[in-house]
Protein backbone atom coordinates (compact mmCIF):
# COMPACT_ATOMS: atom_id res chain seq x y z
CA UNK A 1 0.00 0.00 0.00
CA UNK A 2 2.82 2.40 0.87
CA UNK A 3 4.47 1.65 -2.45
CA UNK A 4 1.33 2.53 -4.45
CA UNK A 5 0.95 5.82 -2.53
CA UNK A 6 4.57 6.62 -3.29
CA UNK A 7 4.06 5.88 -6.99
CA UNK A 8 0.85 7.93 -7.04
CA UNK A 9 2.59 10.85 -5.29
CA UNK A 10 5.50 10.72 -7.76
CA UNK A 11 3.06 10.71 -10.68
CA UNK A 12 1.22 13.78 -9.31
CA UNK A 13 4.51 15.67 -8.84
CA UNK A 14 5.68 14.74 -12.35
CA UNK A 15 2.41 15.85 -13.97
CA UNK A 16 2.48 19.12 -11.98
CA UNK A 17 6.02 19.88 -13.14
CA UNK A 18 5.13 19.11 -16.74
CA UNK A 19 2.07 21.36 -16.60
CA UNK A 20 4.07 24.20 -15.04
CA UNK A 21 6.45 24.05 -18.00
CA UNK A 22 3.51 24.66 -20.33
CA UNK A 23 2.22 27.71 -18.47
CA UNK A 24 2.33 31.09 -20.20
CA UNK A 25 5.17 33.40 -19.31
CA UNK A 26 4.50 36.69 -17.55
CA UNK A 27 5.55 38.57 -20.71
CA UNK A 28 5.16 37.54 -24.33
CA UNK A 29 8.30 39.52 -25.19
CA UNK A 30 11.53 37.50 -25.28
CA UNK A 31 13.31 40.26 -23.35
CA UNK A 32 10.52 40.73 -20.83
CA UNK A 33 9.89 44.38 -21.74
CA UNK A 34 6.77 45.84 -23.32
CA UNK A 35 8.44 47.46 -26.35
CA UNK A 36 6.30 46.81 -29.44
CA UNK A 37 7.74 44.97 -32.41
CA UNK A 38 9.58 47.49 -34.56
CA UNK A 39 10.37 49.74 -31.62
CA UNK A 40 9.57 53.38 -32.18
CA UNK A 41 9.71 53.39 -35.97
CA UNK A 42 7.73 56.23 -37.54
CA UNK A 43 5.83 55.54 -40.77
CA UNK A 44 6.89 57.55 -43.81
CA UNK A 45 4.72 60.30 -45.29
CA UNK A 46 4.00 59.71 -49.00
CA UNK A 47 3.14 62.65 -51.24
CA UNK A 48 3.04 62.85 -55.05
CA UNK A 49 5.64 65.15 -56.60
CA UNK A 50 2.88 67.16 -58.27
CA UNK A 51 1.35 67.99 -54.88
CA UNK A 52 4.56 69.33 -53.34
CA UNK A 53 4.84 72.68 -55.14
CA UNK A 54 4.57 75.37 -52.44
CA UNK A 55 3.55 72.83 -49.80
CA UNK A 56 4.66 72.63 -46.19
CA UNK A 57 5.35 69.07 -45.05
CA UNK A 58 5.44 68.21 -41.34
CA UNK A 59 7.81 65.44 -40.25
CA UNK A 60 9.27 64.24 -36.95
CA UNK A 61 12.95 63.48 -36.47
CA UNK A 62 13.73 60.15 -38.14
CA UNK A 63 10.69 60.23 -40.42
CA UNK A 64 10.96 60.16 -44.21
CA UNK A 65 9.00 61.99 -46.88
CA UNK A 66 8.50 59.42 -49.64
CA UNK A 67 7.98 61.24 -52.95
CA UNK A 68 5.86 59.45 -55.56
CA UNK A 69 7.18 60.52 -58.99
CA UNK A 70 4.26 59.05 -60.94
CA UNK A 71 5.21 58.26 -64.55
CA UNK A 72 8.62 59.95 -64.26
CA UNK A 73 11.71 57.90 -63.50
CA UNK A 74 12.52 57.81 -59.78
CA UNK A 75 16.17 58.62 -60.51
CA UNK A 76 15.33 61.66 -62.68
CA UNK A 77 15.09 64.01 -59.68
CA UNK A 78 17.89 65.72 -57.80
CA UNK A 79 17.34 67.73 -54.68
CA UNK A 80 18.87 70.50 -52.63
CA UNK A 81 18.07 71.13 -48.98
CA UNK A 82 18.77 74.65 -47.66
CA UNK A 83 19.63 73.50 -44.11
CA UNK A 84 21.43 70.15 -44.23
CA UNK A 85 21.33 69.91 -40.43
CA UNK A 86 17.51 69.70 -40.53
CA UNK A 87 16.90 67.36 -43.48
CA UNK A 88 18.64 65.37 -46.19
CA UNK A 89 17.52 64.67 -49.76
CA UNK A 90 17.69 60.97 -50.66
CA UNK A 91 17.86 60.26 -54.39
CA UNK A 92 15.56 57.68 -55.94
CA UNK A 93 16.96 54.62 -57.66
CA UNK A 94 16.06 51.42 -59.45
CA UNK A 95 18.53 48.64 -58.70
CA UNK A 96 16.88 46.07 -60.94
CA UNK A 97 15.21 44.19 -58.11
CA UNK A 98 13.40 47.09 -56.43
CA UNK A 99 12.45 50.70 -57.09
CA UNK A 100 13.13 53.33 -54.43
CA UNK A 101 11.35 56.69 -54.59
CA UNK A 102 13.27 59.88 -53.87
CA UNK A 103 12.64 61.39 -50.48
CA UNK A 104 13.62 63.68 -47.66
CA UNK A 105 14.87 62.34 -44.32
CA UNK A 106 14.18 64.47 -41.22
CA UNK A 107 17.40 64.80 -39.19
CA UNK A 108 16.77 67.46 -36.52
CA UNK A 109 14.09 69.87 -35.39
CA UNK A 110 13.81 72.96 -37.56
CA UNK A 111 12.47 74.31 -40.84
CA UNK A 112 14.14 74.16 -44.23
CA UNK A 113 13.29 74.66 -47.86
CA UNK A 114 13.78 71.91 -50.44
CA UNK A 115 14.17 72.34 -54.19
CA UNK A 116 13.85 69.36 -56.51
CA UNK A 117 14.70 69.50 -60.20
CA UNK A 118 14.10 66.95 -62.91
CA UNK A 119 17.08 66.18 -65.14
CA UNK A 120 14.80 65.34 -68.06
CA UNK A 121 13.81 69.02 -68.27
CA UNK A 122 10.50 70.55 -69.19
CA UNK A 123 9.36 70.44 -65.59
CA UNK A 124 9.65 73.43 -63.30
CA UNK A 125 11.62 72.92 -60.09
CA UNK A 126 9.54 71.78 -57.13
CA UNK A 127 9.96 74.06 -54.13
CA UNK A 128 8.49 73.16 -50.76
CA UNK A 129 9.14 73.50 -47.04
CA UNK A 130 9.87 70.76 -44.54
CA UNK A 131 9.06 71.41 -40.87
CA UNK A 132 10.72 68.90 -38.54
CA UNK A 133 9.76 68.51 -34.89
CA UNK A 134 11.37 66.38 -32.19
CA UNK A 135 9.65 63.14 -31.22
For position 113, which CATH number holds? Answer: 2.60.40.2020
| Residue 5 covered by a domain | no
Look at the chain and report how many structural domains it folds into: 1
d(CA 15, CA 50): 68
Domain assignment present for residue 28? The answer is no
**What mean pLDDT do residues 33-56 have?**
88
pLDDT (mean) for 22-29: 52
At 99-116, the pLDDT tens digits run 999 999 999 999 999 999
**118: pLDDT strictly greater than 80:** yes
SS3 (DSSP) at 2: helix
Q: What is the DSSP string of 19-65?
A: HHHTSPPS-SSTTSS-PPTTTT--PPEEEEGGG-TT-EEEEETT-EE
Report the pLDDT value the prediction gives residue 38, as an integer from 0 to 100.
74
Q: How much is the pLDDT for 17?
A: 54
- The parent domain of residue 126 ranges over 45-133
Mean pLDDT of 104-132: 94
β-pairing verdict for 99-100 and 103-106: unpaired
**What's the rounded mean pLDDT across residues 39-49?**
92
CB neighbour list of residue 75: distance below 8 Å, 6 or more residues apart: 91, 92, 93, 94, 102
Amino acid sequence: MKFSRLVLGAAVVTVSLLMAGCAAAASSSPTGDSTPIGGDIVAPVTISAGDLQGASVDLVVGQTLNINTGDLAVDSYTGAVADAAVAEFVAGKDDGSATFNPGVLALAAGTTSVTMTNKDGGIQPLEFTVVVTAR
